[in-house]
Amino acid sequence: MSNFEQSESDFYQSNYATDIQDQGYSDSGAHENLYGSQNYADSFDEEPPLLEELGINFDHIWQKTLTVLNPIKPVDGSIMNETDLTGPMVFCLALGATLLLAGKVHFGYVYGISAVGCLGIHALLNLMSIAGVSYGCVASVLGYCLLPMVVLSSCAVFFSLQGILGTLLALIIIGWCSLSASKIFISALAMEGQQLLVAYPCALLYGLFALLTVF
């Protein structure tokens, strides 16, 4: 009888100790999972937004667009120091799309003129200014100032520009684009008194786009 009682007490003690040990392991695992998930959530919250990682800032795009649309307004040169190509790509695609709607397939010419014009103006600005300018900055400014040309190509969808009215409208748009681009360049590069010298090559570049749009 004593042997039976002793075996029974050993049985209950061993089960109890095993249950306590298993519970300890399960509690520690739960704490580790809890802390691990919390650390993962904290690291995920600290990551920057996807648009910021891609370099897309809609506030800056809107400010640059307003600067181009209002060539009389003073320019904040620091806005155009960023090599933002999102807006220029959108405006180039819009120009090509409106030309296509007008029955003119000039996608290759648009991008070819853009690349060559950016290279030429980039070299010219580096010769004229004390502070150097990057190719991306030049492409960004010229691309944003292409927005008035999109307006001209949109007009070509509804009526022909091959006339006195179309010629006058094209000249106004060329002046608008070149004035906006030269104003931004002299503000960003501190080239006071040289706006006309910068506006002339810009007018030649946008004049080529106007020829594609009119004819």
Both tokens of residue 98?
A: 């409106």
Q: Residue type for 32, please?
A: E
Residue 16's pLDDT is: 45
Domain boundaries of the chain, sorted by first residue: 2-47, 57-214
Query: Whole-model pTM above 0.75?
Result: no
Residue 206's pLDDT is: 94
Q: Which residues contact 102 (CB under 8 A, 6 or more apart)?
A: 153, 156, 157, 213
Residue 168's pLDDT is: 94
Please state, in angstroms and as integers, the Cα–Cα distance from residue 189 to each residue in 67, 75, 120, 202, 205, following that order.
Answer: 16, 12, 17, 16, 20
Residue 11's pLDDT is: 45
* 148 close to 176: Cβ distance less than 8 angstroms: yes
Residue 4's pLDDT is: 47
Residue 162's pLDDT is: 86
Contacts within 8 Å (CB) and 24+ apart, 194-198 = 194/128, 197/128, 198/125, 198/128
Residue 202's pLDDT is: 93
Residues of the chain with pLDDT under 50: 1-2, 4, 7-9, 11-12, 14-18, 20-26, 30-32, 34-35, 37, 40-42, 44
Residue 174's pLDDT is: 95
Residue 96's pLDDT is: 85
